[in-house]
A and B are shown apart, each in its own frame.
Chain A
Amino acid sequence: MNFWTDLVDAAVLGTGRATPPSPPASLASLTAGPELLRLAAVASRARRACYVPPVTTDLTPDQAPPDHRPGVSVAARVRLAGLLADEREDLVIEWLRLLAGTGCRPPEAQLPTLLWRAADSEQLRDALVPVLGPLAAWLAAANPRWDWVIAAGQAGPDTWTTASHRTRRELLDQVRRTDPAAGRELVTATWQGDSTRDRAAFIAGLATGLSADDEPLLDRALADNRGEVRQAAAGLLAKLPGSAFSQRAAARAAAAVGVREAGQLIVTPPAEATQEMIADGIDARPPRGTGLRAWLLRQVTAAVPAAWWTEYTGLPPAELLAIAAPTAWAAELETGWTECAMRDAHVPWLTALLDRSTGEMATDLLKALPAPWSAKLSAVARDRILALTSADQRGQASNQARRLLRIAAARLDPPFMPDVDPAQVPQGLADAWAKMMTTLSVRAAMRREITQEPAP
């Protein structure tokens, strides 16, 4: 019936076994060569010349619901495409966070690549979910690999009891952003039946929208029989200045450390771990090689908010560190202060600690600070990094300096580009330095582009 398909069938077998069909009169023009080849030449060209696409009755799919958010500028779209092509996931994540700040929709053309990559990367997924709109859910309905989009999109308070651990965490975060009380009720509702892992994560999730109203729930968690849950609760309670917990913590810190008028520090570490201390999350078993009193002092120092120390002593962090130095407990105090400064991302404390730190400590301090860094912190960090790297002329601690530059590249707020004469950069660090500058200039460009007027 169809000459071409009959011819193909004959060709598959070969003329040794099958006879080519006889052609319609219209295809008899070519005369030379073996019959099958002749027919193939003419019929293949004829099929191409006369090709008419078949009519299909497949159902037309529903269209994606409209997304009323504005689009981004062409420059921003091109940037994202470039970052995806270069597989710079760190910068893609940052780009998405910037996008979330603008209220624009992600560019349609890059959405599939983002969804593919996010299917394999939890970090990317966390950054992508907040900016997804109706188009993503519509696409996901056509691709089973993107089921997670639908799960994330459907998460609502009514799915709290049934959703996966991760979805519940995301859901709690969403609810806490807009209605902290409702979020707290969600956690309370399932508290009895939830696993340790769930409870610890949900308590940590209360950090979003934290207020004094959360204290009863946090106190309840503080009495939990699992350490992870207690620790998560203690961390948050320490951040609530008016809580009974933080008053107990402050009393312990004040008992351990006092300032004499002459600017001398009197340090009296706790002699033993009381029931109250243990109930408040303080660990009574020091690691091997550490004395009990040193171990308790360190925890007591860290258990109050970083800002409390300045209020309590009336001294700025740099001075406290200076007068702590001659005491017998200088190391424990500094460790405790470092812990609370990092936990609270407290810039005055971090500045003071950074100033005293050597390469390794500075790297740890800076690493502990999640991006994006505030302008103030960036300025401090930049100066410290410059001082540390330029002290590195001999390249002795080059690996340390390289690590610092990598951290700086990823986390400095781009207006705080190290403004340095290239000739001043130590020879051995030139490459790492250039890489940092490239990354920083890309990050600065990302910020400019994302705020540009979107294309029509």
Chain B
Amino acid sequence: MQTHRREQVLAMAPDAAAARAGQGQAVLVKWPSLGHDEQAVWGECQGSGSAPYRCQAALADGASRCSCPSRKLPCKHAIGLLLLLASDQVPAATCPAWVAEWLAAQAGRQTRQTRKARTGGETPDPQAQQRRAASREMKVDAGVNELRRWLADLARGGLAAAQAQQWEWWDLLARRMIDAQARGLANRVRHLAVIAAAGGHRPDWPERMLDEIGALHLLCEAWTRRDALPPDTAAALRARIGFTLAAADVSRSGRRITDTWAVLGQRQDDESQIRSLQQWLYGERSGEVVSYLAYAAAGQPLEPGLAPGARTEATVVLYPGSLPHRVLIVERHSHGRPLGPLPGAGSWDEALSAVAKTLAVDPWADVQPVAVRDVTVLTGPPWLLRDRAGRALPIVRPNWQLLALSGGAPVDVTGEWDGFAFTPQAAASAGRDGQLLE
């Protein structure tokens, strides 16, 4: 049995130091007693004190408790314990009373939480809520107006002038957008700064920059006319500007899908002030592709998604708004199983045919998950992926791993299309199981 894979466990660590310390604990010699059953893994760890620490982790969601004084969650002992389990070093056993009690308490807490989520918890003061919402909208109004003026100046001065600007020039505006509580706008401004900075060695920078400016202008326009938009587009607009919904509200009212989800793409950012994890989940039966997204402040644990590069039976709830839908994982029904063959359309034409429909609802859907079969890697330059019909998309940068997996033969590939280049994220050569690319 292998619940959380090594990299998943390490992703749970609140920071790099905890991940390192956890690896130091993943040594049998530190654990005089150790065991696991279907629900949990537990052990007693000899720490610096006289009594051993009792540490336990639930397998379903990785929740853990430890009697050590560390305030990090999970602590290094829990990480070590899960790492030992991931490498098959923990014997199966009957769970001792102290673990059973904790599991029962956990289950009780979850039921209460679910019930609370269903009933909406305490009834908030509707008037206070309305006041808060109105004040936020006013802030966003002000931010949007400032962005409009800035965009107009940029259009007059030209992209070449903007490209020569220093990071601080862009960052100043991004900060103003954060002050206006419009994080989505801030992120797009920072993306413009990245395009500008890469300008020297990316000949397509003017196209990318104008594309992003067009999206920003459309966001400003849509915000002004938000009352006239169709509900789906209005929801997408709010999500793109940076309005978030409480998980409890989503799990109460969102559409639920139970399916076998294959994680066919993942990016994790541990470097920024806010850590993030994004996964593309491909539903085997529903055919839906959804996005799991988790954020955490530096030093805080990231809520793990599903096992990367594996298939997991799980129930998710869709957030309204941006497309492909962001989801909340509400229940995992199985452990990660090996990835089978990859899904995919027979040609780029077919694979990209959904883009127009998506843009009709959410015109800011810039990054789309795409799966295609039987494409050949051409090593250019530029590197291309050519389908059976002879049509080819450029790939972001040479991907030797993909080339090695293909051996020159057609491969099935999943990845991201950003409107300019394709980023391969998983691949399967003929007749073999898919693999996540690094």
Contact = CB atoms under 8 A, between A and B. Distances in A.
Contacts of A261: none
Given A14-B156, A63-B409, A142-B403, 7 more contacts: A34-B152, A37-B155, A43-B214, A58-B384, A63-B408, A434-B27, A445-B87
B400 A112 contact: yes
Closest 10 CB pairs of A and B: A14-B158, A44-B214, A112-B400, A40-B214, A63-B408, A64-B407, A49-B356, A53-B391, A41-B218, A37-B217
B342 to A, nearest CB: 14
Interface string B19-39: 000011011111010000000
Given A14-B159, A42-B214, A56-B378, A139 B404 contact: yes
Contacts of A38: 217
B155 A15 contact: yes
B207 interface: yes
A435 to B, nearest CB: 8
A7 B158 CA distance: 12
Interface of B: 5-6, 23-24, 26-30, 32, 46, 87-89, 148, 151-152, 155-161, 206-207, 209-211, 213-215, 217-218, 220-221, 224, 338, 348-349, 352, 355-356, 359-360, 363, 366, 376, 378-380, 384, 386-387, 389-393, 400-401, 403-405, 407-409, 419, 429, 432-433, 435, 437-438
A95 interface: no
B26 A438 contact: yes
A54 interface: yes
Contacts of B409: 63
Nearest to B2: A75
B118 to A, nearest CB: 39
A135 B408 CA distance: 10
Contact of B30 (A45, A60, A139, A422): A422
Contacts of B393: 53
Given A64-B408, A422-B32, A41 B215 contact: yes
Contacts of A91: none
A8 B206 contact: yes
A245 interface: no
Given A139-B400, A437-B28, A441-B27, A12 B156 contact: no
Contacts of B437: 109
Contacts of A57: 390
B152 A37 contact: yes
Interface string A98-130: 000000000011011101100000000000000
A14 B157 contact: yes
Contacts of A50: 356
21 contacts: A11-B159, A12-B159, A15-B156, A18-B158, A36-B155, A40-B217, A44-B210, A44-B211, A45-B214, A47-B419, A48-B359, A53-B349, A53-B387, A53-B391, A55-B389, A56-B390, A56-B391, A60-B376, A60-B378, A142-B403, A441-B87
A153 to B, nearest CB: 16
A17 B159 CA distance: 12
Contacts, number: 198
A32 interface: yes
A324 B212 CA distance: 85
A148 interface: no
B407 A422 contact: no
Contact of A45 (B89, B218, B220): B218
Contacts of A58: 378, 380, 384, 386, 392
Nearest to B435: A109
Interface string A251-292: 000000000000000000000000000000000000000000
A422 B47 CA distance: 12
A428 interface: no
Given A14-B157, A135-B407, A438-B23, A82 B6 contact: yes
Given A55-B390, A56-B386, A434-B30, A16 B157 contact: yes
A111 B404 contact: yes
A33 B217 CA distance: 8
Contacts of A32: 221, 224
A9 B221 CA distance: 24
Contacts of B157: 14, 16
Interface in A1-24: 4-5, 7-9, 11-18
A456 B433 CA distance: 9
B392 A12 contact: no
Contacts of A225: none
Contacts of B363: 45
Contacts of A116: 400
A16 B214 CA distance: 18
Contacts of B151: 34, 37
Task: Among B30, B214, B390, B401, find the residue whose CB has the most chain A CB atoms closer than 10 A.
Answer: B214
A54 B400 contact: no
Contacts of A112: 400-401, 403-404
Task: Among B151, B387, B393, B404, find the residue whose CB has the most chain A CB atoms closer than 10 A.
Answer: B404
Contact of B29 (A40, A60, A437): A437
A135 B218 contact: no
Nearest to B437: A109
A349 to B, nearest CB: 32
A26 interface: no
A4 B211 CA distance: 10
Contacts of A18: 158
A138 interface: yes
Nearest to B204: A8
Nearest to B211: A44
A138 to B, nearest CB: 7
A52 B401 CA distance: 26
A143 interface: yes
A109 B419 contact: no
B146 to A, nearest CB: 15
Given A37-B151, A109-B405, A112-B400, A437 B214 contact: no
Contacts of B155: 11, 14-15, 34, 36-37
Nearest to A39: B214
B226 to A, nearest CB: 14
Contacts of A331: none
A135 B403 CA distance: 10
B406 to A, nearest CB: 9
A197 B400 CA distance: 37
Contacts of A109: 401, 404-405, 435, 437
A12 B26 contact: no
A455 B435 CA distance: 13
A11 B210 contact: yes
Contacts of A5: 207
A17 B160 CA distance: 12
A141 to B, nearest CB: 10
Contacts of A42: 214
Contacts of A36: 155
Nearest to A38: B217
